[in-house]
Amino acid sequence: MAQNIADVNEGNFKAEVLEATTPVVVDFWATWCGPCIAMGPTVDQYAQEKAGAIKIVKVNVDQNGSLAAQYGVMSIPTFLVFSGGKPVGQVVGAMSKDAFTAKVDAALAGK
């Protein structure tokens, strides 16, 4: 996991995501999830490219099930895109880096 990707839990989700001054991509994942693990390098690269402009955090659904339920996460990996403390988009499943970047950027652009 990239150095600038934080693990977030129920205790610090509000401060790290809802009160963030930059957009946040929340990666809902689990250690046993093959597609989640496959997306790891893509998420790491995206985090490095967008450092300072977009914050990336990870939520382990096994340890933070109430957060996953609160945001309607039904399958993983699910990436929720937050801006101004509100969810503005959702990206589900494993995909290429180009597809991931395009979907996250579109969510942030309000498309």
Mind telling me the catalytic residues?
33, 36
Contacts of 105 (CB under 8 A, 6+ apart): none
Q: Do 2 and 50 touch, CB atoms closer than 8 A?
A: no
Joined tokens for residue 2: 């990239």
Cα distance between residue 31 and residue 42, in whole Å: 16
Count of C-beta atoms within a 10 Å radius of residue 37 = 14
